[in-house]
Chains A and B, each alone.
Chain A
Amino acid sequence: MLATIGKRLLTVIPTLIGVVIVTFLLTRALPGDPAAYFAGPAATKEAIEQVRKNLGLDKPLPEQFVRYVRDLARGDLGNSLSTGRPVTTEIVSRLPASAELTLLGLIVSMAIAVPLGILAAVKQGSWIDHTCRVVATAGVSLPVFFTGLLLVYVFYYILGWSPSPIGRLDAFASAPTQITGFFLIDSLVTGNLEVFRSALAQLILPVVTLAIFSLAPIARMTRASMLAVLASEFVRTARASGLDSRTVIITYAFRNAMLPVVTTLGMVFSFLLGANVLVEKVFAWPGIGSYAVEALLQSDFAPVQGFVLTMAVLYVVLNLVIDILYGVIDPRVRLEG
């Protein structure tokens, strides 16, 4: 097993080198001029040149690249100009915020979508199948910012059930000591129930927004893959052997249908993590997506590079985890690997 993982990790190295080079070149190819932007509205030509020199942007590209790689090797992703802090610090504090939101969103979504998909497949053509189709279509066709704003409007503005949408915590609560960066876990570990409640209350609306959006791919994939498995011969045999339908569906059919579902989950997770910028904007969530977009708008190179790199590493890890999960679910994959 370890050898397999090691081999997999080795193949990752060229990918990462490619990512480093491409992000560096891409950010340099952006049309904006960071020196002009950060020199401020009243900057003279000399002032802009001075800022350019301070930022090291007056050096030729190869030299900038060498410096970038050297810093990278030391774990230094550079400084963000727009927030004034090291990119590493920012990512360390913002990635957990996004991850907490996305993971919870995914769990909620899974809890609804997987049973819904199974039921839809088992009772194909019934009302539950139609419900599944309607829910999936509606979820995927509502843009996240719209769902988010609608939920805020109904549950915060009109009903007043939800706390104000101003980020991970109420304005008057202070963040728990950082252990994992997941507020729910950190507050429980430090025994601070007040913060736990506040963090959970803040999470509900954005989590539901994300869950609604990611319902569709999971439910549809579960349904399709269940349908294929249910039509296969071993299920027919199992049924013919007189096993009760619960055992047939859960133990035999679902386990075999899980592979494509897990793949979809992995894809949905990584997609959500980077793409929930809009949810982060709506709920003032200090996540990594909004950080990257903000940086991009201001031609702030370092965070963009840091973001892409983090995402690349995350994808790699995620793929590895999924591959391992494959092995757990389906022994055949393990043998081949």
Chain B
Amino acid sequence: MKRRDFLKSATALAAGTAISAPAIFSAAAQSRNETLLIVSESGPNNLDIHGVGTNVPGYEVSWNCYDRLISHEMKTGANGAPYYDRDKFKMELADDMKLGDMSATFKLKKNAKFQDGTPVTAKDVKWSLDRAVSVGGFPTFQMSAGSLTKPEQFVVVDDSTVRVDFARKDRLTIPDLAVIVPCVINSELVKKHATEKDPWGLEYTKQNTAGSGAYKVTGWTPGTEVVMERNDAWVGGKLPAIKKVIWRIVPSAGNRRALLERGDADISYDLPNKDFVELKSNPKLTIVSTPYSNGIQYIGMNVKQPPFDNPKVRQAVAYALPYQKIMDAVLFGLSKPMFGAPADFKTEVAWPQPHKYNTDIAKAKALMAEAGYPNGFETTISFDLGFAGVNEPICVLAQESLAQIGIKCSINKVPGANWRTELNKKTLPLYTNVFSGWLDYPEYFFIWCYHGKNSIFNTMSYQSKTMDAFIDGAVTAAAEGDKASYDKDVIGMVDTAYADMPRIPLFQPYVNVAMQKNVTGYQYWFHRRLDYRTFAKA
């Protein structure tokens, strides 16, 4: 309704002033400098991250249109571009955060208002956090990653003070309050649209933004475009320079590239690697490449079934993969290698870090013989067609390479809609996939991907008592601040993972963003989407 009205009034305005056309033209030219035109392959399906099945582009809308209590400071990343600082928090909707032993108390900014003008109160914060832990699905899962699971943990102290009680000591609790999910929603507004069947008003927030954030959605045509305009009353930070963001969905990668090169689009960030490499030499464009924080593309093996239940076979595969070829021919160098660390490389207290395997067919053959498969075996290698641009050539190269040690793979292409179902069955023998976590802590990655409690991200069904002991040890040590045993446990985790090799890390993918030279203010965030609030056009 709102959108329709907006369009109507806009058209009426345009029609009414049609006689004085030149005036419109110059106004348009001026506003173009305060407008950011983004082109990308796909757009949001829901404006609310708490919604059922909200896709990743939807997260970007939420990030820019809602505020959280706290957010992260920026630092300079390894590539010289601004990179979010995992360890330093800044206040967004909160004015002040007091960290107690088993709770954190937030005072809200006095003049904070929602986009409809009502003040932001502690009640809204509690309602929003209650909603996040109650709606189920992804938001509830993400909250539980920081031990935030029950509405009783969020306490209204007074109108502008809210306290978050910790369920247990967990160093991920505070960082988890700075991710996209715990956004603060205008509870009174949404409650008006809630129904018995939909107590959290998800139907309303699917189509409307009801936050206090720096932008509000003023037009949304799914699959075509999203229009966002600046909220001039925003108090969460410095008033953004960009007044209007137009996000157009352009499915053809070739056209997105053409739009950039012709200077018609300001930013695009999901082009094939080859295009980014070629665009790097274009003097009119700025390209920023940043490795995914806490993310790895890997080859996984089902360790519950022969032949991959044999660690020797897994090591043989790790020695047979054509790592460098993948880096050169598939990624065009736009990724961080996670293989071939020198023999004297000492395991660091960090993640991701490279393993010591490199392509060595002779060694792989010897390991295959030792494992009792001198003549190899037949298997299938599966990948997600949704990301065929990278996955398919990886699997073809792996197939070619594995054939040299007698492993005959047939390639199984799984359509995007089906991929997760297939992966969750945990029956695929050999596959490639990506995992990346918002919270950039080694133990976070390992809990999901390697722990014996066998979460859905432990796609290999890997279970090892040694590994579990290291992971549990690291989690406890982190909560207690015991650095010495934390370091020991993290190194133990990584060493065990690389000795047993249930999954073989290939590379850390890059987030590539291409923008016009006059566009500044790009920042890398853990969610890897754009933050419009810092952009500016010269």
- Seen from chain A, the residues whose Cβ lies within 8 Å of a Cβ on chain B are 30-34, 36-48, 50-51, 54-55, 80-85, 90, 93, 149, 152-153, 156-157, 160, 164-167, 171-172, 174-177, 190-195, 281-284, 286, 290-291, 294, 297-299
Does any Cβ of A come within 8 Å of B99's Cβ? no
CA distance A44 to B424 in the complex (A): 9
Are A33 and B421 in contact, CB atoms less than 8 angstroms apart? yes
Interface size of B by CB at 8 A reads 58
CB distance from A192 to the nearest CB of B (A): 5
Closest-CB distance, A86 to chain B (whole angstroms): 11
Closest CB-CB distance, A14 to chain B, in whole Å?
32
Q: Are B137 and A194 in contact (CB under 8 A)?
A: no
B18 partner, pick from A84, A149, A191, A294, beta carbons under 8 A: A191
Flag whether B138 is at the interface (Cβ < 8 A): yes
Contact between chains at A42 and B45 (CB < 8 Å)? no
Task: Indicate which residue in B46, B136, B248 contacts A171 across the interface (CB closer than 8 Å).
Answer: B248
Task: Please state if B265 and A164 are interface contacts (CB–CB under 8 Å).
Answer: yes
Write the nearest CB–CB distance from B89 to chain A, whole angstroms.
23
**A interface: dominant SS:** loop
Contact call B137/A47, Cβ cutoff below 8 A: yes
Roughly how many angstroms separate A83 CA and B138 CA in the complex, as a whole number? 18
- Write the nearest CB–CB distance from A36 to chain B, whole angstroms: 4
Contacting residues, chain B, for A290 (C-beta < 8 A)? 223, 251
Find out whether the CB atom of A90 lies under 8 angstroms from the CB atom of B222: yes
Closest Cβ of chain B to A323, distance in Å, is 35
Chain B residues near A51: list those with CB within 8 A: 52-53, 137
Q: Is there an interface contact between A153 and B18, defined as CB atoms closer than 8 Å? A: no
Contact A194 B14 (CB under 8 A): yes
Chain A residues near B417 (CB-CB < 8 A): 30, 32-34, 37, 297-299
Chain A residues with CB under 8 Å of B222's CB are: 80, 82-85, 90
- Shortest A8–chain B CB gap in Å is 35
Q: Are A171 and B223 in contact (CB under 8 A)?
A: no
Instruction: List A contacts of B21 (CB < 8 A).
Output: 194
- CA A282 to CA B255, docked complex, whole Å: 7
Which one of A85, A90, A164, A298 has the highest number of Cβ atoms from chain B below 10 Å of its Cβ?
A: A164
Contact call A93/B221, Cβ cutoff below 8 A: yes
> Using a CB–CB distance below 8 Å, which chain B residues touch chain A?
7-8, 10-12, 14-15, 18, 21, 24, 28, 32, 35, 37, 39, 45-46, 51-55, 136-138, 140-142, 206-207, 221-225, 246, 248-252, 254-255, 258-259, 261-262, 264-265, 415-418, 420-421, 424, 456-457
* Contact call A32/B421, Cβ cutoff below 8 A: yes
Q: Are A164 and B53 in contact, with the CB atoms below 8 A? A: no
Given A84-B45, A84-B51, A172-B32, CB of A165 within 8 Å of CB of B137: no
> Is B15 touching A192 in the complex (CB atoms < 8 A)?
yes
Q: List residues of chain B with CB within 8 A of the CB of A284.
A: 224, 248-252, 255
Are the CB atoms of A157 and B258 closer together than 8 Å? Answer: yes
Instruction: Evaluate contact between A192 and B11: CB separation under 8 angstroms.
Output: yes
Q: Among the listed B14, B37, B252, B424, which residue makes an inter-chain contact with A192, where contact means beta carbons less than 8 Å apart?
A: B14
CA distance A284 to B457 in the complex (A): 35
A50 proximity list for chain B (CB < 8 A): 136-137
A190 touches B258 (CB 8 A): no
Complex contact B224–A39 (CB within 8 A): no
Most buried by A among B223, B262, B456: B223
Give A30 to B421 CA distance when docked, in angstroms: 13
Contact yes or no, A40 B137, CB < 8 A: yes
12 A–B contact pairs at CB < 8 A?
A: A42-B456, A48-B424, A81-B45, A84-B51, A93-B221, A153-B258, A157-B262, A167-B224, A190-B11, A284-B252, A284-B255, A299-B418
Closest A residue to B141 by beta carbon equals: A42
Distance of A169 from chain B, by nearest CB (Å): 9
CA separation between A33 and B418, bound complex, in Å? 6
Q: Are A39 and B138 in contact (CB under 8 A)?
A: yes
Nearest residue in A to B135 (C-beta to C-beta)? A50
Contact of B53 among A30, A37, A297 (CB under 8 A): A37
Q: How far is the CA of A46 from the CA of B140 in the complex (A)?
A: 12
Which one of A36, A165, A174, A298 contacts B14 once the chains associate, using CB atoms below 8 Å?
A: A174
